[in-house]
Amino acid sequence: MQPFTIIFIGPQGSGKGTQINKLDAVLKEKDPTRQTVDIQTGRRFRALAARGEGYTEDKVSETLDSGVLQPLFLSVVLWGDAMRERINTDCHTLIDGFPRIVAEAVVLESALSFYKRTNIIVINLDTPEEIVRKRMEGRARKDDTAESIEARLDWYRNETLPVIEYYRKRPDTSVFDIDGTDSIDGVHNQILNALGLNS
C-alpha cells in the first residue's frame, strides 16, 4: 500500500472528524507498520484557546465562540507546526480543517512538495446546508449559536467551495464526492469504496 494523503473538505457538521477517526482505524488495521497522522486544525484552535496564556489565546477563544473564521496566518502556523512535528514522506496523512480558502491551498502546496506528497485525494463530504444546520444545532457546543452557524455556512459557501474546484483542476489529484446525507457507516463505506479499501 502506498501512503495516502487525504484532505477532507465539508461544512461544519458534515462529520469530517468522525470519518477521519473511522478511516484512521481502518488504515491502522490494513497497514499496521505505517504511521497514520491526522491533523485537525479545529481541535488545535480549541486547544490553543483553552491555554489562555496571552492575547492570541484570548482572541482565539473569543472568536471561536462567535463563529468568526480564524486568521490565515494562525491556521498556517498551527497546521505547519503539526506537519513539522508529526509527518514524514511515508506516513498516511489525514487532513481536516484546512485549506479553508484557495490562498491557503496554495500555501499547502509548498508543504506537500516538501514532504514529497503526491497523488493527493480530496474527500468532499457533500452535505446540504439544512442537514448540517440541524446537526450543529443539536450538538450543544457553545460556539454553535444561530449567528455563528449562519456565518460559518456563508463562509463555506463563498470561500471553501472554490477550494474543491481548485483541487478538481490540480494535476495528480482525485476528488471524490461523498453523499454526506448517508448514515455514519454509509458515509464510511462510500469513502472506503472510493479509496479501494473495502475488500
CATH 3.40.50.300 fits 5-193, yes or no: yes
Instruction: Show binding-site residues for ATP.
Output: 13-18, 139, 182
* Closest residue by Cα to residue 72 from 105, 96, 30: 105
Each residue's pLDDT, cut to its tens digit, for the chain (199 residues) gives 899 999 999 998 899 999 999 999 999 999 999 999 999 888 888 888 888 789 988 888 887 766 667 889 999 999 999 999 999 999 999 999 899 999 999 999 999 999 999 999 999 999 999 999 999 899 877 778 888 889 889 989 999 999 999 999 999 999 999 999 999 999 999 999 999 998 7
* Euclidean distance between CA atoms 122 and 9, whole angstroms: 7
Query: CB of 107 within 8 A of CB of 76?
Result: yes
Instruction: Show binding-site residues.
Output: 13-18, 41, 46, 97-100, 139, 141, 152, 182
Instruction: Show binding-site residues for AMP.
Output: 41, 46, 97-100, 141, 152
C-alpha cell belonging to residue 67: 463563529
DSSP-derived 3-state class of residue 92: strand
Question: DSSP state, 79?
Answer: H
